[in-house]
């Protein structure tokens, strides 16, 4: 069975990846706490991806409704001019579904590193 087939069958069976864990929540700095850090030196704590989009979270805040607001970088490989630093929520990531099958996933092999180090891999 190919990797593609495995991914599709897992999605169709309704198994979904847990995008956020307590361990990741604990390691994410509070919003605005790295405000004085230059962008290339900011530590990317967690990486999410779906097709040509990648979300790199640097900071987070748990909202009153339980959602998580992230600050980070969103990379758009389909249109690099649309890549930018900004805010996104866990709920937004969880709601993205393409063709009724593909959902945002967390890179399980990602380890925290500076934004400069992440960019070297592009």
Question: Which pLDDT tens digit goes with each residue over 2-50?
Answer: 444 334 434 444 556 899 999 999 999 999 999 999 999 999 999 999 9
Is pLDDT larger for residue 89 or for residue 5? 89
pTM higher than 0.75: yes
Inform me whether the pLDDT recorded for 54 exceeds 60: yes
Is pLDDT larger for residue 17 or for residue 95? 95
Pick the closest to residue 105 from 55, 54, 49, 57 (CA basis): 49
User: Which whole-number Å values give the CA distances from 109 to 32, 35, 78, in the listed order?
Assistant: 26, 27, 23
pLDDT of residue 100: 87
pLDDT of residue 104: 97
pLDDT of residue 17: 82
Is pLDDT larger for residue 10 or for residue 63? 63
Residue 88's pLDDT band (cuts 50, 70, 90): very high
pLDDT of residue 15: 56
Residue 60: CB partners within 8 Å, gap ≥ 6? 25, 28, 29, 30, 31, 45, 68, 69, 70, 71
Cα–Cα distance, 93 to 84 (Å, whole number) = 16
The chain-wide mean pLDDT, for the chain, equals 89
């Amino acid at each position: 069975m190919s990797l593609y087939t495995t991914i599709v069958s897992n999605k169709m069976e309704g198994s979904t990846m847990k995008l956020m864990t307590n361990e990741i929540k604990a390691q994410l700095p509070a919003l605005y706490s790295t405000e004085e850090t230059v962008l290339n030196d900011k530590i990317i704590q967690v990486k999410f991806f779906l097709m040509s989009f990648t979300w790199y979270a640097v900071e987070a805040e748990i909202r009153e409704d339980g959602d998580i607001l992230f600050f980070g970088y969103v990379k758009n490989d389909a249109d690099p001019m649309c890549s930018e630093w900004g805010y996104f929520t866990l709920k937004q990531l969880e709601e993205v579904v393409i063709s009724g099958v593909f959902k945002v996933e967390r890179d399980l092999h990602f380890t925290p590193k500076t934004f400069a180090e992440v960019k070297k891999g592009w």
